[in-house]
C-alpha cells in the first residue's frame, strides 16, 4: 500500500538525517545506555539487599523494569516524530503536511523512526528474556500471553501519542506534553503494588500506565487474572477509539499559526 | 473551479487577565472574525491577485480552500470537493507554496524531497522526469538540486520549493507571499516563473502578496480583502477607472513664486519648494496645464496616473 | 541593581504567559517525587533499617532531595543555545547589561518561583501521605553547600549552552549531562549506598555537591564537612573558569550567523 511505501521513505530520510549528525549520535547512545544502566544497577543495589518487596523477588523486579524498558523503547522508536511535532506546528510545516494527499499520521506519528533506539532494542530484549528465564516462571503459554500483552501495550502507547498530537494542535501553551506522558509511564517502572490506593487504581485503570507496563510481566509470572486480560484489550481499543475522536475534533479546532 | 458562499471564520484567542489563579478557572476568549461572509467564484486558468493588509484574511482563505482550516460557517467548494474532507483525490490536484516556510527536508539534498513527493502524489516515472526537467529548465537551477537544502541561499531554496510543490502538475496552486524576504533578483525570478508556468501549463493560480509589484505584473483579476470582507473583486485595470479619480501633476519650480499664484491653479497636496503637486481630475487636465504654463516658471512638469497603491490605501482607509 | 531585580521579576512574570505549561511542569516533578518515594516506602515495608538508614530518614531524604533538585538544577540558561543558533543572541549582547549577570538574575527569578511551589508541594505531600519528617539540623552549613551547589550547576548549564558557539549539536551533550545528573546527584537513592570505591570516585566529580551534600548535612548524616566543602569550592572555581573561557573564546570566534 502507498502508506507503507511512504513510511519506508520517511524512515529512510530519518536515517539519513541521523547519520548526518555524527557526534550527536554518540552522545545520545551514551546517554541512553547510561540511563538504562543506572536504573538497572539501582534495582540491583536496592533489591539485591532487600529480599522481597511487596511479594516480588529480585529477578521479578528486574523483569518488571526490563519490560517497561522494552515497551518504552519500542514506543520511542516508532513515535519519535511526535517529539518534533510542536516545532512543525509553530513553523507552519504541519500545514504543508496537512495539505498533502496522505493521512498526516504517516508523517507526524510514525514518520521519524529512531534508529539509535532500534539498535539498543536487541540487547534490551535479550536481557529481558535472560532474567525472565531466571524467574523460573516461563512456560510457553505465559510467554505467548506476555508478547500478546506487549502488543496491547503498544496499542495503548499509540493512543497516548495520538492524544499528545491532538493536544499539540489544541493548546499552544504547553511544549512538553510528550514528557508528561513519559513521566506518567515512568510511574510503572516498578510493580504497581508499591503505590497506595487510590493512586494504584487510578494509574492502573484510569490513566492506564500501570496496565500498559506491568500487565505483561504479571501475565508472565502467572499473576494476571483472565478477566484482566480481557479488560486490557477493552481499555486499549477504547483508548484508540477515543484518541482518534479527539484528533478529528482537534483538526476542526485547528487555527494554524501566523496570518 | 472554486466557489465560496458566505464563508466565515472566527478565531478564538484566550484573554489573559491579571490574576493567575482566576485565569485558570475563567476562560475568557476574544473572538476575531477573520472572514466575514466572504463570497466569490474562480474559474479555470485564472490568475488571481489576492491582496490586503496583515490580518485581513488572505492566508485564512487559502488555508480553508486547501482544507487546512475548518470554516466556522458558509460553503466552500473547490474542484467539486469540500476541502476540509481532505480527500486524496482533491489534495492531489492542488499545490501550496508558502513564502518563508518550506517542506524541503533540511539536512538532505532537495532531490530527496522530490522523490518523496513523487511517491506521495503518485507521479509516474515518466511524468516525474518530464515535469522535473521542465521546472528545472524554467528555473535554471540544475546544479543546485543535489546540495543539502541547509546550504542553499534563500532564493535557491525558493526555487527548490517551487519544484517540490509543482512536480505533480497541480491544477490549482496557492502562492502565499511567495516573494517575501527575497532579494530583488529572486523576486523577479519567482514572478517570471509564475507567469511562464501559467502560460504554459494553464493552471489556476491564487497569489497573495504584500508587494503590489507581484500583483501588478501577474494578475489580471484582483481580489481586495480587508478585515474579513471583500472590498473589490474585478479586473486590475478596472480599479483605476472605478476608483482612480484623477492624475497627479508635479511641477518643479525654477524660482519661488507667490503662494496666491499657486492656489489660483488649485489646492496643492504637496508644496515644498521646488516641488508642487496637484491632484487633478482627468477632465480638468488641459485647463490646468494651460494655467500652469501661463502662471508658473517651471523647469519640469510631470503628469502621472494615480498609483494603485494610493487607490488601495484609500480603500483600506474606509 | 534595580536593573537586575527587574530582570528577575520579568522572568517570573514570563511564566504567567505560560501558566498551564508551568503547572504541568510542577505536576511532573511531583509525579517523579512520588514514584521514588513509593519505591522506598515499599522497601521499608518489612524492615525498619536499610543500609544504615531508618525509614523516616530515607523518606525525608527522598522528598527533600527531589524538591531541592528542581531549584538547584533548574535554569534558564538552556535557552542561550537556541539564541546562539538563530542569532537572537546579538540583541542580548548589544544591550548595556553584563550577559552573565543577566542570566544569573534570570535564574534567581526562575528558582524563586520554583522554590515557592516546591515548598507548597512538599507540605501537601507530607500531609496527604502522612509522612514523618526528620527534623533539620546544621542549617547554615547546609545553606553554604546549597550556595556552592547552585553556582556549580549554573556554570555547568551555561557551559553546555555555550557549546552552541562551536556546533549546532547542543542538545546531545545536555541530554547526557541530565541523564548523569539525575542519578549521580542522588535523586533516586542516597549516594552512600554505592560500593565504597564507586562512592569515593564520585566524590571527585561535581555531582554530589549539587544536591546530595546539602541535603545530607541537613539530615545530620554527614558530620565531616571540611573536605567536601573544599571540593565544592574547588568545583565552583573550575566550572566558573570553564564557562568564562568558553564565553570569551566563543565571542571571539563566532561569526554570529543565523536566519
Query: Cβ distance B221 to B275 under 8 Å?
Result: no
CA–CA separation, A186 and B208 (whole Å): 48
Distance from the Cα of residue C31 to its chain's centroid: 18
- Asked if the Cβ–Cβ distance from C42 to A54 is below 8 Å, we say yes
Instruction: Find the CB nearest B119 among A5, A251, A258.
Output: A5
Instruction: Find the CB nearest C21 among A52, A174, A199.
Output: A174
How close is the nearest chain C Cα to the Cα of A75, in Å? 19
Q: What share of chain A is helix, strand, coil (3-state, %, to 5)?
A: 80, 0, 20
All residues at 6 or more sequence positions from C211 whose CB lies less than 8 Å from its CB, including other chains: C65, C68, C69, C72, C73, C149, C185, C186, C187
Nearest CA in chain C to A175: C21
User: What secondary structure letter does DSSP report for B169?
Assistant: -
Instruction: Find the CB nearest A53 among C42, C173, C194.
Output: C42
In sequence order, what are the beta bridge partners of B250? B277, B302
- Asked if the Cβ–Cβ distance from A24 to C171 is below 8 Å, we say yes
Instruction: For residue A259, name the pLDDT band (cuts at 50, 70, 90).
Output: very low
CA–CA separation, B249 and B267 (whole Å): 12
- Asked if the Cβ–Cβ distance from A16 to B112 is below 8 Å, we say yes
The bridge status of strand B204-208 relative to strand B172-176 is parallel
End-to-end Cα, chain A, rounded Å? 36
Instruction: Find the CB nearest C175 among A28, A186, A189.
Output: A28
All residues at 6 or more sequence positions from A82 whose CB lies less than 8 Å from its CB, including other chains: A108, A109, A161, A164, A165, A178
End-to-end Cα, chain C, rounded Å? 34
Instruction: Please give the backbone phi and psi of residue B96, each rounded to the nearest 5 degrees, phi first.
Output: -135, 115
- Asked if the Cβ–Cβ distance from A173 to C27 is below 8 Å, we say no
- Asked if the Cβ–Cβ distance from A96 to B96 is below 8 Å, we say yes
CA–CA separation, B167 and B129 (whole Å): 9
pLDDT at C259: 38
Instruction: Find the CB nearest A194 among C31, C41, C182.
Output: C41
Q: Which of chain C's residues have a Cβ under 8 Å away from the Cβ of B23? A: 19
pLDDT at C107: 92
Instruction: Please give the backbone phi and psi of residue C205, each rounded to the nearest 5 degrees, phi first.
Output: -95, 165
CA–CA separation, C9 and C15 (whole Å): 10
Please provide the average confidence, as pLDDT, over all residues in chain A: 90
Check pLDDT > 90 for residue A100. yes
Q: What is the ipTM of this complex?
A: 0.86
Q: Which of chain B's residues have a Cβ under 8 Å away from the Cβ of C17? A: 16
Write down the H helix ranges in C19-138: 19-43, 55-72, 78-86, 89-94, 99-128
Residues recorded for chain C? 259
Nearest to C15 by CA among C118, C151, C112: C112
pLDDT at B21: 55
- Asked if the Cβ–Cβ distance from B88 to A101 is below 8 Å, we say yes
From the candidates C12, C13, C14, C16, which should be mutated to test the interface with B, based on the most B CB atoms within 10 A? C16
From the candidates C26, C37, C41, C43, which should be mutated to test the interface with A, based on the most A CB atoms within 10 A? C43
Q: Which of chain C's residues have a Cβ under 8 Å away from the Cβ of A32? A: 179
Residues of chain C with pLDDT under 70: 1, 222-223, 255-259
pLDDT tens for each residue of chain B, 318 residues long: 899 999 999 888 777 665 555 555 566 778 888 899 999 999 999 999 998 887 788 889 999 999 888 999 999 999 999 999 888 899 999 999 988 777 888 888 899 889 989 988 899 999 999 999 999 999 989 999 998 888 888 889 999 999 999 999 999 999 998 988 888 888 899 999 999 999 999 999 999 987 778 888 888 899 988 888 998 888 887 876 676 667 888 889 888 888 888 888 888 888 888 888 888 887 888 888 898 888 888 899 988 877 777 777 777 775
All cell numbers assigned to A221: 509470572
A91-116: average pLDDT: 92
- Asked if the Cβ–Cβ distance from C34 to A187 is below 8 Å, we say yes
pLDDT at C258: 47
Nearest to A190 by CA among A17, A19, A46, A7: A46
Q: Which of chain A's residues have a Cβ under 8 Å away from the Cβ of B107? A: 16-17, 20
How close is the nearest chain A Cα to the Cα of C140, in Å? 32
Angle of the A22-49 helix axis to the C171-184 helix axis, nearest 10 = 10
Instruction: Please give the backbone phi and psi of residue C195, each rounded to the nearest 5 degrees, phi first.
Output: -55, 150
Nearest to A42 by CA among C54, C184, C178: C184
Q: Which of chain B's residues have a Cβ under 8 Å away from the Cβ of A100? A: 91, 120
- Asked if the Cβ–Cβ distance from A255 to B11 is below 8 Å, we say yes
CA–CA separation, C35 and C66 (whole Å): 11
Q: Which chains touch C (3 or more CB pairs under 8 A)?
A: A, B
Asked if B70 is an interface residue toward chain A (Cβ–Cβ < 8 A), one would say: yes
User: What secondary structure letter does DSSP report for C175?
Assistant: H
In sequence order, what are the beta bridge partners of B277? B250, B270
Q: Which of chain B's residues have a Cβ under 8 Å away from the Cβ of C19? A: 20, 23-24
CA–CA separation, C80 and A96 (whole Å): 30
How close is the nearest chain A Cα to the Cα of B241, in Å? 31
- Asked if the Cβ–Cβ distance from B120 to A252 is below 8 Å, we say no
Burial (CB < 10 A; 0-12, 13-18, 19+), residue A122, is exposed
Residues of C with CB under 8 A from a CB of A: 18-21, 24-25, 27-28, 31-32, 34-35, 38-39, 41-43, 45-47, 50-51, 129, 167, 169, 171-173, 175-176, 179-180, 182-183, 188-189, 193-194
All cell numbers assigned to C18: 505560560
List of domains in chain B? 2-240 (3.40.50.300), 246-317 (3.30.70)
Nearest CA in chain C to B153: C259
* A:51-70 residues touching chain C, CB 8 A cutoff: 52-54
Nearest to C199 by CA among C220, C226, C157, C228: C228
- Asked if the Cβ–Cβ distance from A2 to B59 is below 8 Å, we say no
Nearest CA in chain B to C15: B20
From the candidates B55, B85, B116, which should be mutated to test the interface with A, based on the most A CB atoms within 10 A? B116
All cell numbers assigned to B2: 472554486
- Asked if the Cβ–Cβ distance from B101 to A5 is below 8 Å, we say no
Query: Cβ distance B146 to B109 under 8 Å?
Result: yes
Instruction: Find the CB nearest A183 among C28, C173, C194.
Output: C28
The CB density around residue A53, as the number of other CB atoms within 10 Å, is 23
A144-149: average pLDDT: 94
CA–CA separation, B7 and B114 (whole Å): 34
Instruction: Find the CB nearest B91 among A5, A100, A251.
Output: A100
Check pLDDT > 60 for residue A77. yes
Report if pTM > 0.80.
yes
CA–CA separation, C188 and A35 (whole Å): 12
From the candidates A29, A53, A68, which should be mutated to test the interface with C, based on the most C CB atoms within 10 A? A53
The bridge status of strand B2-14 relative to strand B29-42 is antiparallel
Asked if A241 is an interface residue toward chain B (Cβ–Cβ < 8 A), one would say: no
- Asked if the Cβ–Cβ distance from B24 to C19 is below 8 Å, we say yes
- Asked if the Cβ–Cβ distance from A176 to C180 is below 8 Å, we say no
A184-203: average pLDDT: 89
The CB density around residue A5, as the number of other CB atoms within 10 Å, is 12
In sequence order, what are the beta bridge partners of A178? none
Query: Which residue in the block uniquely carries the three cell numbers 555524527?
Result: A22
Query: Cβ distance B7 to B71 under 8 Å?
Result: yes
Instruction: Please give the backbone phi and psi of residue B145, each rounded to the nearest 5 degrees, phi first.
Output: -70, -15
Instruction: Please give the backbone phi and psi of residue C254, each rounded to the nearest 5 degrees, phi first.
Output: -75, 140
Distance from the Cα of residue B291 to its chain's centroid: 41
Lowest mean pLDDT among A10-14, A80-84, C89-93, C212-216: C89-93
Asked if A144 is an interface residue toward chain C (Cβ–Cβ < 8 A), one would say: no
Amino acid at each position: 500500500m502507498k502508506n507503507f511505501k511512504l513510511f519506508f521513505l520517511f524512515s529512510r530520510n530519518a536515517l539519513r538525517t541521523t547519520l548526518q549528525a555524527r557526534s550527536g549520535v554518540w552522545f545520545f547512545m551514551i546517554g541512553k545506555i547510561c540511563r538504562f544502566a543506572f536504573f538497572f544497577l539501582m534495582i540491583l543495589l536496592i533489591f539485591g539487599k532487600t529480599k522481597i518487596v511487596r511479594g516480588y523477588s529480585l529477578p521479578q523486579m528486574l523483569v518488571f523494569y526490563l519490560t517497561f524498558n522494552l515497551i518504552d523503547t519500542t514506543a520511542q522508536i516508532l513515535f519519535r516524530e511526535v517529539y518534533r511535532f510542536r516545532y512543525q506546528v509553530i513553523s507552519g510545516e504541519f500545514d504543508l503536511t496537512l495539505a498533502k494527499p496522505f493521512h498526516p499520521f504517516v508523517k507526524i506519528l510514525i514518520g521519524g523512526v529512531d534508529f539509535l533506539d532500534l539498535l539498543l532494542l536487541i540487547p534490551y530484549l535479550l536481557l529481558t528474556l535472560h532474567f525472565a528465564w531466571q524467574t523460573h516462571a516461563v512456560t510457553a503459554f505465559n510467554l505467548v500471553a506476555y508478547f500478546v500483552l506487549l502488543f496491547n501495550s503498544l496499542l495503548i502507547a499509540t493512543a497516548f501519542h495520538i492524544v499528545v498530537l491532538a493536544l499539540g494542535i489544541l493548546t499552544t501553551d504547553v511544549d512538553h506534553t510528550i514528557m508528561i506522558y513519559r513521566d506518567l509511564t515512568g510511574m510503572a517502572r516498578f510493580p504497581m503494588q508499591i503505590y497506595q490506593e487510590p493512586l494504584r487504581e487510578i494509574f492502573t485503570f484510569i490513566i492506564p500506565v500501570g496496565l500498559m507496563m506491568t500487565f505483561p510481566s504479571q501475565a508472565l509470572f502467572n499473576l494476571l487474572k483472565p478477566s484482566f486480560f480481557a479488560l486490557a484489550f477493552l481499555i486499549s481499543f477504547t483508548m484508540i477509539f477515543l484518541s482518534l475522536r479527539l484528533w478529528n475534533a482537534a483538526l476542526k479546532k485547528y487555527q494554524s499559526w501566523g496570518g | 473551479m472554486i466557489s465560496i458562499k458566505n464563508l466565515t471564520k472566527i478565531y478564538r484567542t484566550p484573554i489573559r487577565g491579571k490574576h493567575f489563579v482566576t485565569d485558570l478557572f475563567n476562560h475568557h476568549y476574544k473572538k476575531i472574525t477573520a472572514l466575514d461572509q466572504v463570497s466569490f467564484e474562480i474559474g479555470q486558468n485564472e490568475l488571481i491577485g489576492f491582496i490586503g493588509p496583515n490580518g485581513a484574511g488572505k492566508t485564512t482563505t487559502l488555508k480553508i480552500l486547501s482544507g487546512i482550516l475548518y470554516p466556522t460557517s458558509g460553503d466552500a467548494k473547490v474542484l467539486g470537493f469540500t476541502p476540509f474532507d481532505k480527500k486524496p483525490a482533491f489534495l492531489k490536484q492542488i499545490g501550496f507554496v508558502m513564502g518563508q516556510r518550506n517542506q524541503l527536508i533540511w539536512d538532505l539534498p532537495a532531490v530527496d524531497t522530490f522523490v518523496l513527493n513523487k511517491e506521495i502524489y503518485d507521479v509516474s516515472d515518466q511524468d516525474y522526469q518530464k515535469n522535473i526537467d521542465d521546472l528545472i529548465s524554467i528555473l535554471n537551477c540544475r546544479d543546485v538540486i543535489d546540495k543539502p537544502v541547509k546550504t542553499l541561499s534563500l532564493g535557491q531554496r525558493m526555487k527548490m520549493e517551487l519544484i517540490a510543490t509543482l512536480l505533480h502538475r497541480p491544477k490549482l496552486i496557492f502562492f502565499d507571499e511567495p516573494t517575501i524576504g527575497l532579494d530583488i533578483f529572486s523576486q523577479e525570478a519567482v514572478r517570471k516563473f509564475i507567469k511562464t508556468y501559467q502560460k504554459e501549463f494553464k493552471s489556476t493560480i491564487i497569489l497573495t502578496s504584500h508587494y503590489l509589484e507581484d500583483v501588478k505584473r501577474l494578475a489580471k483579476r484582483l481580489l481586495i480583502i480587508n478585515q474579513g470582507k471583500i472590498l473589490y473583486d474585478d479586473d486590475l485595470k478596472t480599479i483605476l477607472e472605478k476608483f482612480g479619480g484623477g492624475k497627479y501633476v508635479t511641477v518643479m519650480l525654477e524660482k519661488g513664486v507667490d503662494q496666491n499664484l499657486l492656489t489660483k491653479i488649485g489646492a496643492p497636496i504637496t508644496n515644498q519648494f521646488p516641488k508642487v503637486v496637484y491632484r487633478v481630475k482627468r477632465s480638468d487636465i488641459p485647463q490646468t496645464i494651460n494655467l500652469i504654463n501661463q502662471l508658473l516658471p517651471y523647469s519640469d512638469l510631470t503628469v502621472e496616473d494615480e498609483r494603485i497603491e494610493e487607490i488601495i490605501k484609500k480603500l483600506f482607509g474606509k | 541593581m534595580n536593573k537586575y531585580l527587574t530582570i528577575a521579576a520579568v522572568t517570573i512574570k514570563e511564566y504567567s504567559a505560560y501558566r498551564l505549561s508551568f503547572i504541568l511542569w510542577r505536576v511532573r516533578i511531583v509525579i517523579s517525587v512520588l514514584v521514588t518515594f513509593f519505591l522506598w516506602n515499599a522497601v521499608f515495608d518489612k524492615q525498619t533499617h536499610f543500609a544504615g538508614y531508618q525509614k523516616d530518614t530515607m523518606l525525608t531524604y527522598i522528598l527533600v532531595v527531589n524538591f531541592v533538585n528542581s531549584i538547584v538544577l533548574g535554569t534558564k540558561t538552556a535557552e542561550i543555545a537556541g539564541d546562539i543558533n538563530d542569532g537572537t543572541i546579538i540583541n542580548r549582547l548589544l544591550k548595556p547589561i553584563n550577559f552573565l549577570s543577566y542570566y544569573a538574575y534570570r535564574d534567581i527569578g526562575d528558582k524563586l518561583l520554583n522554590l515557592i511551589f516546591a515548598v507548597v508541594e512538599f507540605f501537601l505531600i507530607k500531609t496527604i501521605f502522612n509522612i514523618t519528617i526528620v527534623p533539620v539540623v546544621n542549617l547554615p552549613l547546609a545553606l553554604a553547600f546549597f550556595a556552592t551547589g547552585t553556582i556549580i550547576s549554573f556554570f555547568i548549564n551555561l557551559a553546555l549552552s555555550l557549546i552552541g558557539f562551536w556546533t549546532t549539536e547542543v542538545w546531545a551533550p545536555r541530554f547526557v549531562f541530565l541523564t548523569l545528573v539525575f542519578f549521580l546527584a542522588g535523586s533516586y537513592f542516597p549516594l552512600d549506598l554505592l560500593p565504597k570505591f564507586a562512592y569515593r570516585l564520585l566524590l571527585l566529580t561535581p555531582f554530589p555537591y549539587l544536591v546530595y551534600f546539602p541535603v545530607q548535612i541537613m539530615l545530620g548524616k554527614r558530620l565531616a564537612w571540611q573536605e567536601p566543602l573544599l571540593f565544592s569550592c574547588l568545583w565552583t572555581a573550575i566550572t566558573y573558569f570553564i564557562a568564562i573561557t568558553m564565553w570569551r573564546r566563543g565571542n571571539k570566534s563566532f561569526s554570529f550567523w543565523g536566519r
